[in-house]
């Protein structure tokens, strides 16, 4: 594997992913019962923004660096920004960008736990060192897809799985995700599964989303942010999060933050955001998984 997230940490795709991730963790913690967080592709967990990799690409400048000084952002973004800034920066800006494992583990309550999987030896070593001495966190140097077979269902019976692979071979990665989800849902049909995906060509994403619609899951929410038109395979034009067994009212929680992020993260043209249900609570298809203007976002019928 050649991918290293240090080159991309804190970019616009991370901002979307981690905003959604915070909303999911808060939804899990709305109930007092403990939950388990499982990360299939955890990376090293913490990324220096003044290091060689981040300086080479500068991607965080069009991501977290824009949110850091922004005023009058929605409460979810305020809480996320405050969490990011814990020990990571000063009034001049961020020094480090915490990855998904570090962001989530900072929020764990007594009784909650985290299972972090990373196959790459160097990244796994850094991850293990980062959480050394933390009894709530368990690091596994192994393939995350295979690990799900051993980790599910978690002893807590409630939990969240983040699947955030590098997509070095995009079509092959989608097949691996489909297989992993099929197996995971058999073991743990009530778990919440969040999958991050890149958007280069829209045609590359559509088959994957259509297959999810036939997964048997009755509540699937899609959130996307596009900073470039989705018609070029040569760059990352946007990204999305698709959540299976999405918590109640997650769409309401994310709607205003996504609108604000689209405004803050626009680049050479106005950014676009999308938030829609692929399946409603009755298992009925609400829409085909295709681009939708923000002004026409569908809502599940019969919502309270």
| Catalytic residue positions, numbered | 164
Among the listed residues 121, 99, 97, the one whose alpha carbon sits nearest the alpha carbon of residue 1: 121
What is the C-alpha separation between 273 and 260, in angstroms, rounded?
10
Contact criterion met (CB below 8 Å) for 100 and 47: no
CA separation for the pair 46, 127 (Å, rounded): 8
Intra-chain end-to-end CA distance of the chain, in Å = 46
Burial of residue 231 (CB within 10 Å: 0-12, 13-18, 19+) is: exposed
Q: How far apart are CA 101 and CA 265, in angstroms?
A: 24
The strand ranges marked E within the chain are 36-39, 46-48, 89-90, 93-94, 96-98, 113-117, 137-140, 159-163, 192-199, 220-226, 238-244, 272-279
240 SS3 class: strand
Distance CA 89, CA 292 (A): 37
Pairing of strands 192-199, 238-244: antiparallel
Rg from Cα positions in the chain: 18
Question: Which of 282, 271, 274, 275 is closest to 251 using CA atoms?
Answer: 275
Q: What is the rounded distance in angstroms from the CA atom of residue 287 to the CA atom of residue 222?
A: 11
């Amino acid at each position: 594997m050649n991918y290293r997230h240090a080159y991309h940490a804190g970019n616009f795709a991370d901002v979307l992913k981690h905003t959604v991730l915070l909303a999911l963790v808060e939804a899990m913690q709305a109930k007092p019962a403990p939950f388990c967080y499982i990360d299939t592709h955890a990376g090293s967990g913490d990324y220096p923004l003044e290091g060689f990799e981040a300086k080479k690409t500068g991607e965080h400048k069009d991501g977290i660096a824009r949110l850091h000084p922004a005023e009058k952002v929605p409460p979810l973004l305020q809480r996320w920004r405050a969490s990011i800034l814990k020990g990571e920066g000063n009034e001049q800006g961020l020094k480090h960008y915490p990855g998904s494992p570090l962001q989530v583990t900072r929020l764990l309550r007594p009784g909650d736990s985290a299972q972090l999987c990373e196959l790459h030896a160097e990244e796994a070593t850094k991850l293990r060192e980062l959480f050394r001495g933390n009894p709530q966190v368990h690091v596994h140097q192994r393939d995350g897809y295979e690990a799900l077979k051993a980790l599910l269902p978690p002893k807590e019976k409630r939990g969240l799985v983040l699947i955030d692979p590098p997509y070095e071979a995009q079509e092959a990665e989608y097949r691996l995700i489909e297989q992993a989800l099929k197996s995971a849902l058999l073991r743990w049909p009530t778990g919440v599964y969040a999958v991050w995906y890149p958007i280069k060509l829209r045609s590359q994403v559509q088959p994957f989303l259509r297959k999810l619609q036939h997964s048997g899951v009755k509540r699937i929410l899609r959130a996307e942010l596009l900073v470039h038109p989705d018609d070029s395979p040569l760059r990352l034009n946007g990204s999305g999060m698709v959540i299976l067994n999405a918590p109640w009212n997650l769409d309401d929680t994310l709607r205003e933050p996504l609108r604000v992020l689209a405004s803050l993260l626009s680049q050479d043209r106005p950014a676009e955001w999308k938030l829609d249900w692929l399946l409603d609570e009755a298992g009925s298809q609400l829409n085909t998984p295709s681009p939708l203007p923000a002004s026409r976002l569908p809502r599940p019928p019969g919502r309270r």
